[in-house]
Amino acid sequence: MSDATDPWLIVGLGNPGPEYAANRHNVGFMVADLLAERIGGKFKRAPKAQAQVLEGRIGPPGPLSRRVVVAKPMSYMNLSGGPVAALRDFYKVPLDHVVAVHDELDIDYGTLRLKLGGGDNGHNGLKSMTKAMGPDYHRVRFGIGRPPGRMQVADFVLKDFSAAERKELALEVDRAADAVECLLAEGLERAQSAYNT
């Protein structure tokens, strides 16, 4: 079982490349970028894994400060498990100290849900992570809602946020980053009561 001195691995899920940068599927990358900004560092190529990483600390100085590795897998979404498992091994992170930040179709836009373990709900990034490591990692689920009309799910998640959604996007990404920080500092129950809407 993990203890307070173990590092945390925060994984923003997304697809690499500028053509995907503003897609709904890349909201995990957006949250990871904001956390990196807050830590005050730049991503660099990971040792022994196909990912970009930033090492630092999150939280107020003192006992609530947590050692973290923020990561963006540089494989495509459906292959995220390999890089995440390699990072977990390299940094010696217990599975319950892994946090996946990802888009979630079954939750309305502007809604967050935090949980530990569970299924992948058809999300290819989670499917790949669970196959590589098992399901018992934390998830910060960022609601993107369902596709309108007859639009295919694959098309919807690979589209940019709508103009209306973009007005609130910075605020929602900020809230998701706050939720990650709360999870690390105060635990899942406190984070759920503060951020599960």
Catalytic site positions:
25
Token representation of residue 64: 């609530």
Residues 6+ apart with CB under 8 A from 67: 5, 6, 7, 8, 55, 56, 57
Nearest to 12 by CA among 97, 98, 94, 90: 98
57 forms beta bridges with 67
CA–CA distance, 39 with 3 (Å, rounded to integer):
22
The strands making up 44-45's β-sheet, listed across from edge to edge, are 44-45, 51-58, 66-73, 8-12, 98-104, 138-143, 112-116
Beta carbons within 8 Å of 3's beta carbon, 6+ residues apart: none
Nearest C-alpha neighbor of 197 from the set 87, 178, 17, 37: 178
